[in-house]
């Protein structure tokens, strides 16, 4: 391995080339007046503090940086020397992840830096686009990076910090959160249940949330053990939370683009892309007030798709009863149908 030789003697002079015995270097966070530590070794074991004083010959000890700095040089009397302070010192030599952000460094997608607010950010833009884009303000160039840590009673957590504790994941609700056990300090921590996958051996209480596949379910009873959420069609033990009930009306969260005919999907927006015939599921096969939205995709704008009821179910449409609806070529809005839970879909 080869490495360029750098002058190990750090020595500065005045404008008239006079030495500066007892001169002082002041180190700050880049672009600020907040002191920042430098080190006597490359492993950052021995701290020199945020100021370093030269000896009687004006020579400084070797100094190692931790990211990017603003640096000021003053003489022994405290007079700032010409040309100082200087920002972005060290940034051009910094390549490590989590180093301080530098305005002169070009970042690529996936680079991780520390902002002036002490938070971590990951770059989402490549190459020269991400130059001089401060992560604390340029949100289109950076995403804030939150790390999930193992909880420790000595750590000081801030609001929205995430930790693992006893197999669960928790989010901090307050700043200065130290020594508060996540499982027993509800004023300080909230358990994130959305990531819990259903387990047949686990006993769930009423109101517990689990995932089975990509669908979320809410437990309807206490002592809920070994009841598979997806097969509980009577909703005795689990209610599927893909339906978010507000006044008994579910919220649609997914769009399915369909072609070739066949069955429509409940709780989805069904965008029809051809002129085929589509079928509604039985109204009694879904909970009451389950909604289906039926729309034409742009590719089907000049076609005439149709849909029918399955079995003996009927559709109430414009105060009449029908077994099917044909969508004409001029229709462009979305039809909204809800189930009565027994035998009808209604508009």
Per residue in 217-265, pLDDT (tens digit) is 778 888 899 999 888 866 788 877 544 333 334 445 567 778 888 888 7
pLDDT of residue 329: 62
pLDDT of residue 96: 62
Per residue in 106-130, pLDDT (tens digit) is 787 788 888 887 788 888 876 557 8
Tell me which residue has tokens 């070994």.
226
Alpha-carbon gap, residue 298 to 255, rounded angstroms: 14
Whether the pLDDT of residue 22 is over 90: the answer is yes
Per residue in 172-209, pLDDT (tens digit) is 888 889 999 988 888 898 877 545 678 888 888 887 77
Closest CA to 189 of 152, 163, 209: 163
- Of the pLDDT bands very low, low, confident and very high (cuts 50, 70, 90), residue 275 is confident
Under a CB-based contact definition with an 8 Å cutoff, are residues 42 and 48 in contact? no
Residue 181 φ then ψ, to 5°: -70, 125
Alpha-carbon gap, residue 273 to 258, rounded angstroms: 6
Whether the pLDDT of residue 53 is over 60: the answer is yes
pLDDT of residue 242: 42
Least confident residue range of 137-151, 294-308, 317-331: 317-331
Whether the pLDDT of residue 91 is over 90: the answer is no
Per residue in 129-174, pLDDT (tens digit) is 788 889 888 888 888 887 778 888 998 888 878 888 887 778 888 8
pLDDT of residue 89: 86
Under a CB-based contact definition with an 8 Å cutoff, are residues 295 and 262 in contact? no
Tokens for 113? Answer: 């830096």
pLDDT of residue 193: 56
pLDDT of residue 38: 92
- CB contact burial 10-49 (16+ within 10 A = b; e otherwise): eebeeeeeeebeebbbbbbbbbeeeebebbeeeeeeeebe
Tell me which residue has tokens 């700050």.
28
- Of the pLDDT bands very low, low, confident and very high (cuts 50, 70, 90), residue 341 is confident
CB atoms within 10 A of CB 202: 13
* Residue ranges, CATH 2.170.14.10, the chain: 10-93
* Fold annotation for 196-240: Seminal Fluid Protein  PDC-109 (Domain B) (2.10.10)
Over residues 290-300, mean pLDDT: 78
Q: pLDDT above 70 covers what percent of the chain?
A: 84
Q: Going by C-beta distance under 8 Å and a sequence separation of 6 or more, which residues neighbour residue 319?
A: none
pLDDT of residue 20: 92
pLDDT of residue 244: 36
Under a CB-based contact definition with an 8 Å cutoff, are residues 218 and 238 in contact? yes
Specify the CATH number of the domain 10-93: 2.170.14.10
Tell me which residue has tokens 């490590």.
96
pLDDT of residue 247: 35
- Of the pLDDT bands very low, low, confident and very high (cuts 50, 70, 90), residue 37 is very high
pLDDT of residue 5: 54
User: Hey, which CATH number is domain 95-145, 1.25.40.10, 1.10.10.60, 2.10.10.20, 2.40.50.100?
Assistant: 2.10.10.20
Mean pLDDT rounded to a whole number for the chain: 80
Least confident residue range of 28-32, 92-96, 143-147, 271-275: 92-96
- CB contact burial 295-306 (16+ within 10 A = b; e otherwise): bbbeebeebbbb
How much is the pTM? 0.32
């Amino acid at each position: 391995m080869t490495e360029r030789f750098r002058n190990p003697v750090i020595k500065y002079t005045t404008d008239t080339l006079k030495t500066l015995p007892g001169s002082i270097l002041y180190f700050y966070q880049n672009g600020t007046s907040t002191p920042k530590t430098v080190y006597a070794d490359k492993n950052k074991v021995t701290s020199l503090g945020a100021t370093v004083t030269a000896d009687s010959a004006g020579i400084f000890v070797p100094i190692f940086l931790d990211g990017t700095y603003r640096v000021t040089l003053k003489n022994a009397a405290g007079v700032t020397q010409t040309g100082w302070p200087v920002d972005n010192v060290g940034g051009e030599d910094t390549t490590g992840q989590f180093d301080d952000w530098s305005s002169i460094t070009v970042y690529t997608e996936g680079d991780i830096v520390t902002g002036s607010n002490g938070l971590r950010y990951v770059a989402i833009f490549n190459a020269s686009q991400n130059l001089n884009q401060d992560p604390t303000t340029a949100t289109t160039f950076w995403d804030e990076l939150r790390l999930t840590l193992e909880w420790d009673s000595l750590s000081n957590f801030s609001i929205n910090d995430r930790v693992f504790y006893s197999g669960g994941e928790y989010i901090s609700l307050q700043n200065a959160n130290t020594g508060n056990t996540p499982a027993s300090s509800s004023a300080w921590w909230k358990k994130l249940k959305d990531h819990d996958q259903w387990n047949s051996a686990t006993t769930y209480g009423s109101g517990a949330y689990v995932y089975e596949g990509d669908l979320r379910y809410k437990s309807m009873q206490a002592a809920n053990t070994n009841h598979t959420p997806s097969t509980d069609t009577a909703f005795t033990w689990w209610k599927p939370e893909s339906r978010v009930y507000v006044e008994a009306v579910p919220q649609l969260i997914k769009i399915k683009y369909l072609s070739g005919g066949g069955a429509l999907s409940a709780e989805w927006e069904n965008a029809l892309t051809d002129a085929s015939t589509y079928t509604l599921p039985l109204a009694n096969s879904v909970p009451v007030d389950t909604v289906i939205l039926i729309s034409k995709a742009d590719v089907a704008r000049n076609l005439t798709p149709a849909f029918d009821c399955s079995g003996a179910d009927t559709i109430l449409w414009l105060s009449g009863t029908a077994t099917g609806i044909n969508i004409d070529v001029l229709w462009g809005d979305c039809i909204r149908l809800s189930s009565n839970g027994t035998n009808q879909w209604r508009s």
